[in-house]
Amino acid sequence: MCGIAGVVLTTGQVGPVLYDSLKRLEYRGYDSVGEATIIDGRILVKKDKGKIDEVERELRISGLDGVVGIGHTRWATHGAPSQENAHPHIDCKGTVAVVHNGIIENFMQLKQDLEAAGHTFKSRTDTEVAAHLVEENLKQGIGLVEAVRLAAKKLTGAYALAFISTVEPDKLVCVRKESPLVIGAGTDANYLASDIPAFLPRTKEAILLDDDEMAVLTASSIRLIKVETGEEERRKSFTVEWSVETATKGGFPHFMLKEIHEQPRSVRDALRTHPIYLDLMASTLDRAKRIFLLACGTSYHACLAATYAFANLAKVEVTPVVASEFIDGYGALVDQDTVVLTVSQSGETADTLTAVRGAKDRGATILAVTNVMGSTLTRVSDVYVGQNSGPEMGVAATKTFTAQVSVLIKIAVALAQRRKTISEKELQVLENGFDRLPEWVSMTVSNQGERVRRIVERYSDSLSFCFLGRGISVATALEGRLKLLELSYLPAIAYPAGESKHGFISVVEEGYPVIFVAPDDEVYSRIVGNVMEMKARHAQVISLVGEEDGEVARLSDETITIPTGIPSSLTPIVYILPLQLFAYYLAVRKGYDPDFPRNLAKSVTVH
Ligand code: AGP
């Protein structure tokens, strides 16, 4: 997730306007920043890695002249944070500049083709291909708008792209597919941005671009065009009633709720991890004699879920370990035949980094999944992949958990394919599952939110909760418990459901709320007995079940329904959603701030 902005003025200076817009988009990314404008028929770019204010101090981006300009605040996906990888990117001759939010999936092929045609690339980003594609089209003598349209038709993936060009220096041209892009209609200026807060102090009139649409902005006109046909479209602007603060949270009262609702997109972005990286990870894992999965907190729960997938799909034994226990518990087993797959949203968690360094000292190969390119973890690991979630503002991890599980399951599937432990039919079911995941996530978040909120109302006086699951759902139960602990400060228990009779069951008395995670998977029939055990002790059973569920639903006091047909390995990505909402609504009900729970930091950089 990055933030893009653009402005075209009648008179004045774009620098201060873009700087202000980028500050308002900083929540979308903050590892590098840059702006481009056109002065005396030439494109001028100022960009560097660092937060906006750091780059401002160094380059004074707010002082940029010119009446047309684009800006970008970056959250790296392809290419580490660096001056070269910061946006805007320009073509070979400096006639086109582009900023981008999204992931261009076919950039490697396009880059090869463009290089073969004589283009020279300066960055390692996927974005730069867009500038060279437009340059290539301009060579054919067509106008800028058509050059952008034809370039967009060659791109696959997700993108919001904005261009300026010396060829038509009075225009901003932008195009959108899957990544957000909004136009701001001013009186003597027009704007574009990834999100409304960027231009809200300057205009409240906005036009949302649809997928596969482009817009051409001058200071006095806005044209919308269909990418496929080049036909013009008409759409009236609407008036934004939100304050800047509400708009920054996408209209939600808290970042956490916004981030829960962002998951259809963040899961889709996580699944976009390029097969080359997945294969590289899989081939390294395939050579290992011993594999450890290493992480803390939520990231550890993602590892726990992945452990089931590595065993069941790739038939590989992996040991998930809480990072703070790794060296004491397993250090003696680590050698050059060991691979440690580390998962950390921030890439800066002290316990995780210490364990990784300990493993490295003993000769292990380090693989990493992280949300922060350029983090310490990316520097100490041998191979890393990004989970592409964009910044997560809520201290409680939500969208980063579902993204981590998505990437890890993809790695497990890549390993299973390499080891030939998965049949064509199983693979087909999983591929189909990956395709449908964003839709299942979307349906669950939108359809179950109100139901979860009402259940929370009924149980808001409970002093404790228990979460039970079997198989891969143990990870979901543990993560649901962690969310509740973090946000509502209540003691809560999570167990493998089969283990509950070995101790936990003594806690259960009339009215005690027990939450069952019970997807319609291969362990379903065994969890029915566990539900009966709890009902026999007069527990209040709240169950998360598939839409067509019969037995567990019948035994439960409350049910939350999830779409059916989700492959078992993917269930944590959908079944965790109501539990995130449960923790959120309970915290709000208790008057706590879900974005900033007490005693917790987003990134724990102490031991
Ligand atoms: C999760 O909601 C917590 N914020 C916490 O458990 C977190 O997952 C843990 O500190 C690990 O962080 P990391 O993924 O950045 O390494």
pLDDT, tens digit (0-9, with 9 covering 90-100), for 29-51: 788 999 999 999 999 999 999 98
User: If you ran DSSP here, which 8-state letter would residue 331 be given?
Assistant: G
Q: Write down the pLDDT at residue 362.
A: 98
Summarize pLDDT for 463-520 with one digit per residue, the tens.
Answer: 999 999 999 999 999 999 999 999 999 999 999 999 998 988 888 899 999 999 999 9
The finding on whether 603 has its CB within 6 A of some atom of ligand 1 is: yes
Average pLDDT estimate for 81-99: 95
Q: Write down the pLDDT at residue 240.
A: 86
Reported residue count of the chain is 607
Average pLDDT estimate for 189-206: 93
Q: Write down the pLDDT at residue 577.
A: 98
Quick one: pLDDT band at residue 173, thresholds 50, 70, 90?
Answer: very high
Summarize pLDDT for 356-373 with one digit per residue, the tens.
Answer: 999 999 999 999 999 988
Q: Write down the pLDDT at residue 247.
A: 78
Q: How far apart are CA 420 and CA 440, in angstroms?
A: 28
Asked whether 369 and 408 are in contact (CB, 8 A), the reply is yes
Report whether pLDDT(79) > 80.
no
Q: How far apart are CA 401 and CA 103, in angstroms?
A: 20
Report whether pLDDT(393) > 90.
no
Q: How far apart are CA 198 and CA 415, in angstroms?
A: 43
Ligand 1 midpoint to CA 349 (Å) = 8
Summarize pLDDT for 251-266 with one digit per residue, the tens.
Answer: 899 999 999 999 999 9
Q: Write down the pLDDT at residue 298.
A: 98
Average pLDDT estimate for 135-148: 96
Q: Write down the pLDDT at residue 49.
A: 92
Asked whether 162 and 192 are in contact (CB, 8 A), the reply is yes
- Residue for token pair 């790296």: 76
State the closest ligand 1 atom to the C-alpha of 400, by its place in the atom list counted from 1: 14
Question: Mean pLDDT score of the chain, rounded to an integer?
Answer: 94
The share of the chain scoring above pLDDT 70, in percent, equals 100
The finding on whether 597 has its CB within 6 A of some atom of ligand 1 is: no
Summarize pLDDT for 579-598 with one digit per residue, the tens.
Answer: 999 999 999 999 999 998 88
Average pLDDT estimate for 404-416: 98
Q: Name the residue of 346, 352, 408, 576 whose CB sits within 8 Å of the most ligand 1 atoms, as the mutation to test its pocket.
A: 346
* 521's tokens: 């998977």
Asked whether 294 and 356 are in contact (CB, 8 A), the reply is yes
C-beta neighbour count of 38 within 10 angstroms: 22
Question: Is residue 226 within a helix (H) or strand (E), and if so which, with residue range?
Answer: strand 222-226
Q: Please report the sign of the dihedral spanned by the C-alpha atoms of residue 183, residue 46, residue 126, residue 384.
A: negative
Q: Write down the pLDDT at residue 518.
A: 97
Q: Write down the pLDDT at residue 356.
A: 97
State the closest ligand 1 atom to the C-alpha of 482, by its place in the atom list counted from 1: 2
Q: How far apart are CA 139 and CA 150, in angstroms?
A: 13
H, E, C per residue of 365-377: EEEEEECCCCCHH
Quick one: pLDDT band at residue 249, thresholds 50, 70, 90?
Answer: confident
State the closest ligand 1 atom to the C-alpha of 603, by its place in the atom list counted from 1: 15
Q: What angle do CA 390, 392, 395 make, to 5 degrees?
A: 165
Report whether pLDDT(294) > 80.
yes
Asked whether 224 and 232 are in contact (CB, 8 A), the reply is yes
The finding on whether 350 has its CB within 6 A of some atom of ligand 1 is: no
Ligand 1 midpoint to CA 381 (Å) = 19
Quick one: pLDDT band at residue 57, thresholds 50, 70, 90?
Answer: very high
Average pLDDT estimate for 513-529: 95
Considering 71-85, 234-248, 459-473, the range whose residues carry the highest mean pLDDT is 459-473
Task: List the strands of the sheet with 540-546, edge to edge.
Answer: 492-496, 465-469, 513-518, 540-546, 558-562
Q: How far apart are CA 55 and CA 87, in angstroms?
A: 13
Summarize pLDDT for 337-352 with one digit per residue, the tens.
Answer: 999 999 999 999 999 9
What's the predicted TM-score (pTM) here?
0.85
The finding on whether 85 has its CB within 6 A of some atom of ligand 1 is: no
Report whether pLDDT(171) > 90.
yes
Q: Write down the pLDDT at residue 242.
A: 81
Average pLDDT estimate for 273-297: 96
Q: Write down the pLDDT at residue 81.
A: 86
Q: Write down the pLDDT at residue 95.
A: 97
Average pLDDT estimate for 311-316: 97
Classified as helix, coil or strand, 53 is helix
Q: Write down the pLDDT at residue 578.
A: 98
Average pLDDT estimate for 534-558: 95
Peptide bond just before 88 cis, omega within 30 deg: yes
